[in-house]
Copies of this chain bind each other. A is one copy, B any other.
């Protein structure tokens, strides 16, 4: 059914193909865009192309950035002896938001997943090992608490082997403010296993 004329349909379809945007949101967005000042729309379009064109991997940590070094790696105040390993740039941003982590990162761009056919060679693992030049004292593995994240964590532990580097894993447990009643059993068991002295 052709609800709108050609260009509007095309716009709705293109928007609806983006993740998390359903057909209703796509329509709402399309009409919002059509109603926006022309220069705002051109700027938005330019921003899309510009970001796609110029974003690359940070030379050190492999997060997505538009310069040779990302803001974290470019910051001389960061402690380069501690590397937090995350699955993607959004996870890096999540930890940056806490404002408390002073080390640097390493972005894997994925996690090992036999189900999806993603092997160790498909993510930035050998690039992580290359960074262990003797100045690195600790690797904090902050992959997701999923099957893939855990597999990747175990794999990194094995990969580091006998190198004189501490390998740690962020804690898994009950989220702060979480109500026990609504938390899944696996998480409850993890919280129990990971209990600490008071």
Interface residues of A (CB under 8 A from B): 1-8, 10-11, 14, 18-21, 25, 27-34, 36, 38, 41-55, 64-67, 70-71, 88-90, 93, 96-97, 99
A28 to B33, CA, bound (A): 20
Q: Which of B14, B71, B88 contacts A2 (CB 8 A)?
A: B71
Task: Given A29-B20, A32-B18, A48-B33, answer yes or no on A5-B42 (Cβ-Cβ < 8 Å).
Answer: no
Cβ of A30 to closest chain B Cβ, rounded Å: 7
A65 to B99, CA, bound (A): 48
Residues of B within 8 A of A14 (CB): 43-44, 47
17 A-B contact pairs sorted by A residue (CB < 8 Å): A1-B96, A5-B66, A6-B66, A8-B51, A11-B47, A11-B48, A11-B51, A18-B33, A19-B32, A30-B51, A31-B88, A31-B90, A34-B52, A38-B53, A42-B49, A44-B48, A48-B48
Pair A20/B25 contact, Cβ less than 8 Å: yes
Cβ of A194 to closest chain B Cβ, rounded Å: 27
State the majority secondary structure of interface residues on A: helix
A41 to B17, CA, bound (A): 12
Pair A10/B49 contact, Cβ less than 8 Å: no
A131 to B32, CA, bound (A): 27
